[in-house]
Amino acid sequence: MMAARVHAFGGPGVIRYERVPRPAPGPGEVLVQVAAAAFNPSDVGFRAGLMRDVVPLDLPFTLGAEAAGTIVETGEGVEHLHVGDDVVGRLDEGGAAAEYMTAPAARMVRAPRRIPLAHAAAIPVAGLTAWQGLFEHARLGTGTRILINGAGGGVGMFAIQLAWHAGAHVIATAGRRSTERVREYGAEQIIDYTLHRPHEVLDRPVDLVFNLAAISPEDATGLCRAVRPGGALVSITVPVEPPAGARVTAGHFVARNDPEQLAELVALVDKGVLRVDIGAARPLAELAAVHADAEAGRTSGKTILIP
């Protein structure tokens, strides 16, 4: 089979699309024929070696933290999934950027039926990050005024829709390429981050900021100023330290793998509550180019990779 692998840490050029033996499922595992993997900004960190202290990986390794596909073989002890089932899941140790992948059956859930199977690959990482950020860390509720900063990517896609569905008043920052899509998801006000800082244009402070963008200390201070006293800021990128005297709670988190929450997200997709839009579908053989485009800011929305 073909797989996108890293033999040395470095820039996009270290990614090799090469032929490797097809794996076999061990006990408790399934072998999945991949319909699509998905690109995540964190993949850049794995490729560059920046995540070694978080997730130790032995070289060479196959990239890809999420995928959707069809089970073609099950290992000993797997009873709740069967050959022919369409599934989706997150792989914390990578391995999704290939024609076939093995995964613990406990981490895989049945894929939504409402959307193409390949599109389901966009759900696990971004969807779980949005869910946990809003409902576990930000504790979003009905009527909450929330500012989602950097809403034009994959996490923003789910965060806006989940917040709107929960009854929140959603304000989002996004670039011009993402404005219409962000509005369709449910953002009631959109701030062009290339022109304005949120605290300079908001008519009044928000209850919560959910930060999805890589920001400077100056930008972080501006976001804290956009929050009312007693409000909160939650970031998935850099930790934020509120300025002295600001009565704002700031938190930072890394989303965990949670198949039960993923199954809830899938159910919302099948109910028509959540849209899953794909910014680009590209051949897996172009993964190195996808990494280069992402680092240069040339990508928008969620990119999936077709083996």
Structure confidence by residue, pLDDT tens digits, 268-281: 999 999 999 999 99
Structure confidence by residue, pLDDT tens digits, 195-244: 889 989 999 999 999 999 999 999 999 999 999 999 999 999 999 999 88
Compute the distance between CA of residue 283 and CA of residue 161 in angstroms, rounded to an integer.
28
Q: How confident is the model at residue 68 (pLDDT cuts 50, 70, 90)?
A: very high
pLDDT for residue 54 is more than 80? no
For residues 202 and 209, is the Cβ–Cβ distance under 8 A? no
Structure confidence by residue, pLDDT tens digits, 18-51: 999 999 999 999 999 999 999 998 899 899 988 7
Q: What's the whole-model pTM score? A: 0.95
**Residue 23, both tokens:** 């794996």
87 CB-near residues (< 8 Å, 6+ apart):
30, 32, 68, 69, 70, 71, 81, 108, 109, 110, 111
Compute the distance between CA of residue 300 and CA of residue 175 in angstroms, rounded to an integer.
9
Structure confidence by residue, pLDDT tens digits, 138-179: 989 999 999 999 999 999 999 999 999 999 999 999 988 899
Compute the distance between CA of residue 122 and CA of residue 111 in angstroms, rounded to an integer.
11
